[in-house]
Amino acid sequence: MLVRFPRRYLAALVVIWAAAAALVATLVLAGRDVALERAQRSSASFAAILAGEIGYAFRTVHLTLGAIGDAYHLEGGAPRNDPAFRQMMTRRLQDLPFVRAIFLVGPKGWLMHDTDFPRTPDLNLADRPYFRLHQADPSLDGTISSPILSRSGTGWFLAATRRLGRASAFEGVAVAAVQASYFRAHFERIGLGSRDFVALFHNDGVLIARHPDGNEGIGKSFQHIPLFSRHLPESTDGSYFTRNSMVPGDRVVSYRVIEGTPLVVAVSRSHVDALSEWRRTAVGAGVGMGALTLMLALFVFYVMREHSRAERERERREQADRLEALGQLTGSIAHDFGNMLHVVSLNLAVLREERSDRQLKDQALSMAQQAVRRSAGLIEHLLHFARRRPLALTQVDLAAAVAATRDLLQHAAGPFATIEVVPGGELPEVVCDANQLETALVNLVVNARDAMAGSGRVVLRTYLCNDDNGPELKRGRRDARFVCLAVEDSGSGMPEDVRKRALEPFFTTKGESGTGLGLSQVYGFMQQVGGSMRIDSAPGRGTTVHLFFPVAPAPAGGAA
C-alpha cells in the first residue's frame, strides 16, 4: 500500500492545487472587474451630480439675464451707465456667486451698463464672437462661450449671453461673465480623492476648469483626447477606460454633456484608487495560495520522507525475516551436515582400513563423494537463501517456483515431516518475487513443522481460483484471476483467537523461540505482490494457509 502512495497521490495533489489556483485566479480577476465597474459607476454618478449642479447654475444665469433684459426693454433702454439700472444689476449679481460681472452691450457693440463700472474702460465688444452670433441670428436666445481671458485682468471667464430686444430689433446682448475659477474652487470643495481628476470643457474641446492643478491648460483645446475624438460624438454621456490621456496612469473616465449648455464635465478615477481594496484582497489571496502551496509541498515532503522511512523499515524487516527463517533452517541443516560428514569420515576409515577389499573401497569412495555432493548442494541452498536481494516483481510460474524450493523446504521441515508438492496443471504466470516466495514458504513450513511437533505432512498445492472460490479479494479486483498456493499441514491447528491475530507482527505462540514475524512477513509479501492471503484452521484439524497471487497480465500481442 505504502509503496504505491506517493506517485498516485502526488498527481491528485497537483490536480487539486491547480484547481485551487485556477479558482483563486478566476475569483481575483473577477474581483478586479467588479472593482473597476464600481469605480466606473461612482465616477458616472459623480459626473451626473456635477452636471446637474453646473446646469442649474447656468439656468439661473440665463433667467437672471432674461430678467435684466426685460427690465432694459421696459425702460426703453436706460441711459448709458445709469446708476439705478446698475444697482438693479448689482443686486441680481449678488445672488450669483459664480458670476463676476454682468454687463449689457449695445447694438453697436459699446458697453452700455456694467456692474464693474466705473473700473471698466470704455470698450467696444462688437468683435466678440457671441456678439456677432446674436447680431446675425435673431432666433438665438442665449450662448455660452469658450473661456475668454478677461481684458480687465480678472482671469478666465465664460460669457453666458442673452439677446436683448424682440425678434425684429436687435438691441444688444446681456452678458454674464461666469468665472472659470469658480468651478475649480467647487471641484476642490466637493473633496475628491487625491488621484481623482475632474475637468469642465466647452464642447469645442477647450478646457474651462480642472482639479487638481487648477491653472494648467485652461483655455487650451483638448480636441485630440479620446473624449472628443471618439466618445462624445457617439453619446452625450458615458464611461470609458483610458491611459495617459491628460493625466498619467490607467483611468476610468465618465463624462456627461450638461443639459442646455455646450459644456461637458468629465470625472476620471485612477485604477490605483479603484483597485486599492481589490489589491489587498488579491495580495491576501496570493499569500493564501502561497501558504497552501507551501503546506502541500511540506505535506508531500513529509509523506515522501515517511514513505522512504517505511521503505527502509520494510527492507530492514525483510532482512530480519530472512535471518529468522535462516535461523530456523540452520538447526536442521547442521544436523544434515553432521550426518554427511559422518558418512564421509566413516567411509574414509573404510578406505584406510587394510582389510577393506576393492569392492568395499569403491563403494566407500562413491558414498563419500555422494555425501560431499549433497553437502555442497546444501551450502548452495543456504547461501542462496541468505543472500539479501531487493524485491523484484516478475512473472513467475508459481508451480515451478514451489517445486524448485522443495529441497529447501524439506530442510526447513526437518527430517520427520514430509513435503509434498501437488502442482495444479496448466497455470498462468503470476506477479511474484521468487526469492521472497522462498522466504515466505520457509516461514510457513517452519510454522507447520512446529505445529506438527516434528512429524507429519505438509502439502503444497497450486491451483487456479476465480473470485467465486477465492476468498477476501481486494475491492476493485473482482475481475482479476488468481493462482492460489495452499500450504496445508497435519498439525495441531489454531483456535479462532490465535488465527485472528496470527498476522500481527510480534504475535507468537512459540514463547521465547518465536519472533512473531514469520506470518507477518508472508502477509507483507502478499501485499507487495498485490495479492491476499487467508488462513483456515481449527484445533485438531490442521492449518491451511492460502496465498492468492494475481495472474500476470498477458504479454502484449502474445497468447494469454
Distance of closest approach, residue 334 Cβ to other proteins, in angstroms? 4
Nearest-approach distance from CB 349 to other proteins, in angstroms: 4
331 binds other proteins (CB under 8 A): yes
Give 176 or 364: the residue with its C-beta nearer to other proteins. Answer: 364
Min separation Cβ 415 and other proteins, Å: 6
Q: What is the DSSP string of 451-495?
A: HTTT-EEEEEEEEEE-TTT--SPPTT-TT--EEEEEEEE-S----
Nearer to other proteins, 232 or 452 (CB): 452
Sign, CA torsion 512/515/518/519: positive
Residue 416 within binding range of other proteins, rule CB under 8 A: yes
Q: Nearer to other proteins by C-beta: 220 or 342? A: 342
Nearer to other proteins, 331 or 553 (CB): 331
382 binds other proteins (CB under 8 A): no
Stretch that binds other proteins, among 1-9, 234-242, 341-349, 472-480 (CB under 8 A): 341-349
Looking at residue 197, the DSSP 8-state letter turns out to be E
Give least dist CB 452 to other proteins, A: 12
Residues forming a β-bridge with 548: 484, 532
Q: Does 453 help bind other proteins (rule: CB under 8 A)? A: no
The answer to whether 410 contacts other proteins (rule: CB under 8 A) is no
Residue 349 interacts with other proteins (CB under 8 A): yes or no: yes
Choose, by CB under 8 A, the member of 7, 189, 355, 358 that binds other proteins: 355
Q: Which grid cell sits at 331?
A: 538447526
Contact stretch for other proteins (CB under 8 A) within 111-119, 301-309, 338-346, 476-484: 338-346
**Closest CB 447 distance from other proteins, rounded Å:** 20
Residue of 120, 181, 203, 356 that binds other proteins (CB under 8 A): 356
Nearer to other proteins by C-beta: 281 or 363?
363
H or E segment to which residue 224 belongs: none
Which residue among 360, 378, 434, 498 contacts other proteins (CB under 8 A)? 360
Minimum gap (Å) between residue 450 Cβ and other proteins: 15
- In whole angstroms, the minimum distance from the beta carbon of 457 to other proteins comes to 13
The grid coordinates listed for 463 are 491451483
Contact 315, 333 (CB under 8 A): no
**For other proteins, the closer CB: 343 or 535:** 343
Q: Which span (199-207, 282-290, 332-340, 500-508) binds other proteins, by CB under 8 A?
A: 332-340
Residue 229 vs 455, nearer CB to other proteins: 455
CB of residue 337 vs other proteins: minimum separation in angstroms? 7
CB 548 within 8 A of CB 465: yes
Secondary structure class of 313 (helix, strand, coil): helix
- My answer on whether omega of the bond before 390 falls inside 30° of 0, hence cis, is no
Q: What is the 3-state secondary structure (H, E, C) of 153-196?
A: CCCEEEEEEEEECCCCCCCEEEEEEEEHHHHHHHHHHCCCCCCC
Helical residues (DSSP H) of 267-275, grouped into ranges: 271-274
- Measure the N-to-C terminal CA separation of the chain; round to a whole number of Å: 28
Closer to other proteins at the Cβ: 234 or 512? 512
Q: Does 353 bind other proteins (CB under 8 A)?
A: yes
Which of 10, 67, 350, 480 is close enough to bind other proteins by CB under 8 A? 350
Q: Are 256 and 240 in contact (CB under 8 A)?
A: no
Contacts of 175 (CB under 8 A, 6+ apart): 65, 102, 103, 104, 105, 130, 159, 160, 161
SS3 content of the chain, % helix, strand, coil (to 5): 50, 20, 30
Residue 195 contacts by C-beta under 8 Å, 6 or more apart in sequence? Answer: 249, 269, 270, 272, 273
* Helix (H/G/I), strand (E/B), else coil: 392: coil
- Specify the amino acid at residue 365: L
CB of 539 to other proteins, least distance (A): 23
346, 372, 391, 480: residue in contact with other proteins (rule CB under 8 A): 346
Q: Which residues bind other proteins (CB under 8 A)?
A: 331, 334-339, 341-350, 353, 355-356, 360, 363-364, 367, 370-371, 415-416, 455
